[in-house]
Structure 1
Amino acid sequence: MASVHVWKSELYDSKLGYVSQFGRGVIDLLNPAEGERILDLGCGTGDLAYELTKAGADVTGMDLSGEMIGKAAAKYPEIPFVAGNAEDFAFGEPFDAVFSNAALHWMKNAEKVISCVWDSLKPGGRFIAEFGGKGNVDTVIRSIGEVLSGKYGIDSASLNPWYFPSIAEYSTLLERQGFRVVYAVHFDRPTPMEDGENGLSHWLNGLADDFFKEIPASERGPVYDQIADKARSSLFHDGQWVLDYVRLRIAAVKM
């Protein structure tokens, strides 16, 4: 079984809050209605699940991370949050929609995820998602690889925790399952990091630490600095790190 990313919920909320902020645009695509049963798949610390409830939807949040679920339940005790694996889940009662923001790229077995989503939806149910698409954070990944292979002899490709598909790749999987893809866009979204010079380190520590498992935590600071040196000319502008995010936004209907 592949290793599971260890989430730091406090860092996620305090320094990586843009994840939920950008997700509000995906809610517009979902267009939740009062009384709808909606599953927030990969709900993190619950902010978007809470936004969905404002439309009167009956929301359940699910995430693989017990720490994230605990934080979400503490913030929004009125919402049911459950720990679960998106590659292997089932609910007793089907949903009107499954919603996911910035989570599907952590799930490498996309076919299993899509199959579980299909099984959890009512006929005519909607699957609305945004996640990292082909080319996402390429500059950062390349810089990580150069530092780890050059100085430490570490093959970063084998440690990469992400799945960043193209429109064609992901739409094909959806259609093979039986979904009708009604909307798909693959777009650049340069994303500013908080905390100035430290922004890239926060990102590496919170979202990319799978690459650094072979390096003791006490020794990672200099590694982050070397990665920053390689990426700086492309991604550091006017005192701020702006990462090269590329997103895939999809809407599909269960036929």
Structure 2
Amino acid sequence: MNWNAIAYQKQHSYVWQHGESLLELLNAQPDEDITDLGCGTGQLTEKIAATGAKVIGLDSDRAMIAQAQANYPHIPFQVADATNFELKTPADAIFSNAVLHWVTNAEAAASQIAKSLKPGGRFVAEFGGHGNVKTILNVLSKVTGKALQPWYFPTISEYSTLLESNGLEVVYAMLFDRPTPLGKTGLAGWLAMFGQRFFPELPEQRWQEITEAVEEEAQSLYQADQWVADYRRIRVVAIKPLSKNPTV
């Protein structure tokens, strides 16, 4: 999966801007070892670094990492996959914003996250939850005639169970709606950034026709003179227990 890091940074800044409030749940402390898993172009990584924490940004996309390094040369970044990344030492915290719905092998990611935390370490994440972009997906499937479920959008129960089965204790979990303004022409941009990659065989002219058809069918998302994506998000905080066999 290859990303256009420049377009992502310029046209989809809401991705990390919405993640800024997630930093309050992280509550990074000076000298903590923190991993930003799926760091993108590094904006939230830099905010973690500003707390005095020792942070590394990981992302599976080389273009994203190259842009992050250009943006923040004082922070270490590394190309790595959420299902098999390796840290030099276990982390005090693993932070992840708007990434894990792209990781369809959720079991492998949860296992790797749990292994990579220190005992007592925390996992703080937000990503697409059950029902995320449901209208957009339904319309895109109708227009293309292709059944689409390209992302991992779990319920709270499903994701909490997954984390707990990998030895983490879920202490906070929330599923909530976040209608996300995209601007007057933003649905086309959203489709180009996040949807077109699932139709690599289509010529550009055909994709343009699909985009126009989606806009026509998805008029319920055009509100107050702009497009609004029907986002639903999961936020979760989980802790790695200090001991597997606590005494009473």
TM-score range (shorter-chain normalised) is over 0.9
State the Cα distance separating 1:119 from its structure 2 match. Answer: 1.1
| % same residue | 46
Query: What SS class does the counterpart of residue 39 from structure 1 fall into?
Result: strand
Question: Counterpart in 2 of 1:182?
Answer: 171
Question: Counterpart in 1 of 2:239?
Answer: 253
TM-score by length of 1: 0.92
Aligned match for 1:141, one of 125, 132, 137 = 137
Quote the RMSD (CA, aligned, Å). 0.9
Query: What SS class does the counterpart of residue 118 from structure 1 fall into?
Result: helix
1:43 maps to a residue whose letter is C
Distance in 1 (alpha carbons) for counterparts of 2:106 and 2:192: 25
Distance in 1 (alpha carbons) for counterparts of 2:205 and 2:29: 48
Do the aligned residues in 2 keep the contact of 1:185 with 1:249 (CA within 8 Å)? yes
Distance in 1 (alpha carbons) for counterparts of 2:4 and 2:90: 31
Distance in 1 (alpha carbons) for counterparts of 2:237 and 2:114: 13
Distance in 2 (alpha carbons) for counterparts of 1:14 and 1:87: 28
Question: Counterpart in 1 of 2:209?
Answer: 222
Aligned match for 2:224, one of 215, 218, 238 = 238
Do the aligned residues in 1 keep the contact of 2:196 with 2:207 (CA within 8 Å)? no
* Residue deviations 1:198-240 (CA, integer Å, cap 9, x gap): 20010000111233222112431121010011111x1001211
State the Cα distance separating 1:89 from its structure 2 match. Answer: 1.6
TM-score by length of 2: 0.95
1:228 maps to a residue whose letter is E
Q: Is 2:51 the partner of 1:55?
A: yes
Structure 1 regions of 5+ residues with no counterpart?
A: 150-154
More helix by share: 1
Structure 2 regions of 5+ residues with no counterpart?
A: 242-248
Do the aligned residues in 2 keep the contact of 1:161 with 1:210 (CA within 8 Å)? no
State the Cα distance separating 1:92 from its structure 2 match. Answer: 2.2
Do the aligned residues in 2 keep the contact of 1:156 with 1:211 (CA within 8 Å)? no
Distance in 1 (alpha carbons) for counterparts of 2:17 and 2:161: 29
Q: How many residues align?
A: 241
Distance in 1 (alpha carbons) for counterparts of 2:164 and 2:133: 27
Distance in 2 (alpha carbons) for counterparts of 1:161 and 1:10: 23
The farther-off stretch of 18-27 and 215-224 is: 215-224
